[in-house]
Structure 1
């Protein structure tokens, strides 16, 4: 396989993996709208970490291939290689579209988690204000006096 074919294959793999990652992020978003269990959130966090690891590996492969082709692994290098090999343009457009979608979904889920965390903290602060020092800690124990 020549470098151009290897680059195209890598970009296509990244796009396919991003499609799976997007599905996971959508599932996470749906789960966050309900009352998710810790186990379900933990399982999604593990899946997301695995996708991040695999995407980083593919990104490194793409960077190496671009370097082998005399281009940096950045937008300028990608634009230059696409100008030289126009068949790559569509694959990179799809990749960037998927990456943007994944980033937006991940950001939205993060904002939802942040809102839940803030709401829970406000509820705890309110309870502490009402109960004083006799409020249970995160382990279900009264604080030591």
Structure 2
């Protein structure tokens, strides 16, 4: 089974038509729907970022944000990851080591270091500083 993650820019792009990454996001969601043997890990921090972004009235507001939250929590291919106290300490260590990542992005780096997923979908160029991360802006 292939395990992947998408950062907030891909999710917001997928779910908000006026977002500049909408085409990339649409390709990602279509790919997830068409792939039979896939699991999408979603760190809770990404959910926080996406919901906060969509709550903005111009991106949809509460009703859309609530619909997206239900999607994250109920989709059969999605698995939400919650930090433990120990894993959060690892996130802090990565945050301090690289000095360019948000805490959410540091969580993604931890996944890669622990080999918990195969591919990252992102538009964030900061991940280029981690040569061990296999990343794409959209499925090919």
**TM more than 0.5:** no
Relative to total residues, which structure has the larger helix share, 1 or 2? 1
Relative to total residues, which structure has the larger strand share, 1 or 2? 2
Superposition TM-score, scaled by structure 2 size: 0.27
Q: Which has the larger radius of gyration?
A: 1
